[in-house]
Amino acid sequence: MENGYWIKTMQIKKDASPIDDITKFAWDDDDYEEVSIWHEYTQEELDSMAAFDKEQAVITDRNERLSKLELSQNDIILAMADIIGGA
């Protein structure tokens, strides 16, 4: 079950009869039931999810590198402030 997911939906019960006994467009509220349907991912969906995951990994990596760079720059600024203040 790794390549899909369950969808909950409503459907008309198999033994339900139309309200007017003629058309199949009007049903009583009790004629509906909740069912779970398994949706298997298509190859396109799997490819799209893989591309999205890769993009998110690149963004996360970039953000981590920027965060480390900011910390390094802050350390340099503080060190320079100590030098200037101590001079």
Are 14 and 54 part of one and the same domain? no
Are 46 and 59 part of one and the same domain? yes
Choose between 23 and 65: higher pLDDT. 65
- Determine contact, residues 20/63, Cβ cutoff 8 Å: no
Question: What is the count of structural domains for the chain?
Answer: 2
- Whole-number average pLDDT of the chain: 84
Helix (H, G, I), strand (E, B) or coil at 10: strand
Are 36 and 68 part of one and the same domain? no
Is-above-0.75 flag for pTM?
no
Are 33 and 46 part of one and the same domain? no
Which two tokens mark 35? 């069912």
Percent over 90 (pLDDT), the chain: 43
Are 32 and 59 part of one and the same domain? no
48-61 residue pLDDT tens: 999 999 999 999 99
**Domain range enclosing 78:** 42-87
pLDDT of residue 46: 93
* CA-to-CA separations, 19 to 10, 22, 30, 33, 34, in angstroms, rounded: 18, 8, 11, 16, 20
pLDDT of residue 2: 72
Are 30 and 51 part of one and the same domain? no
